[in-house]
Structure 1
């Protein structure tokens, strides 16, 4: 039975609603949100990153980067129709947003990134997160 809604659980063995695993005193809670100010939203912001012509790539992603004056990193996504249908493109976007959200404290600060997935590859969270962090660090080190 759910404490919040009072409904019976449909799936036995599943955790109840709410937050059953609250952090204790010895655990560190990291703010891993992805608010609007962490996203590139305007076409001018995307253009500025693309005009800098700094990019790094691997078999999974092409990552463009440009320094900003904000003191924190932002992410923009470009997922073309060559990637696949709407379901596949949405999967890529969700995976990239989540990877950025979870890895934002490992990424170089004060940079805008635009991520483009490569056609023919399918996203898995560990691969995308590792690729994003590795390419972002390479971009921070210097031009290609």
Structure 2
């Protein structure tokens, strides 16, 4: 994920927690904060409770790939995504669908029209 798409500093994470709002499903909690920018920025959080470093890094890779696939349909806000325990057993497609569901619940999903010309 490109640097400009990431939240990196603790202050950025805290601003999203403080000023944003959250939605959740069984696998993820998504905090959203409106921002005036050209694309979304995201911070990922996977707790040590979810497994060892290998499992946590796998979860982050799956989340980053899902975000890459969903990018055209996600509003350009700041997000912090927290993985929950059930997310560790998901496949790539299931992670993508679960994040899509969370974004729809947060009302930040915008369906792109397919140009068929």
The match for 2:77 is 111
Larger Rg: 1
Q: Which moved more, 1:52-61 or 1:41-50?
A: 52-61
Of structures 1 and 2, the one scoring higher in RCO (CA 8 A, sep 6+) is 2
The match for 1:45 is 12
Query: Does the aligned pair in 2 maintain the 1:65–1:136 contact within 8 Å?
Result: no
Q: Which of the pair is proportionally richer in helix?
A: 2
Stretches (4+) displaced over 3 A = none
RMSD: 1.4
Q: Secondary structure at the match of 1:140?
A: coil
Q: Unaligned stretches of 5+ in structure 1? A: 1-33
Q: Secondary structure at the match of 1:59?
A: coil
Does 1:54 pair with 2:14? no
The match for 2:51 is 84
CA distance in 1, matches of 2:54, 2:104: 30
Task: Give the total of aligned pairs.
Answer: 107
Deviations 1:79-137 (A, max 9, x none): 110111111101101001111011111112x2111111111432311111112122123
TM-score between both structures, scaled by the size of structure 1: 0.69
Q: Unaligned stretches of 5+ in structure 2? A: 109-117
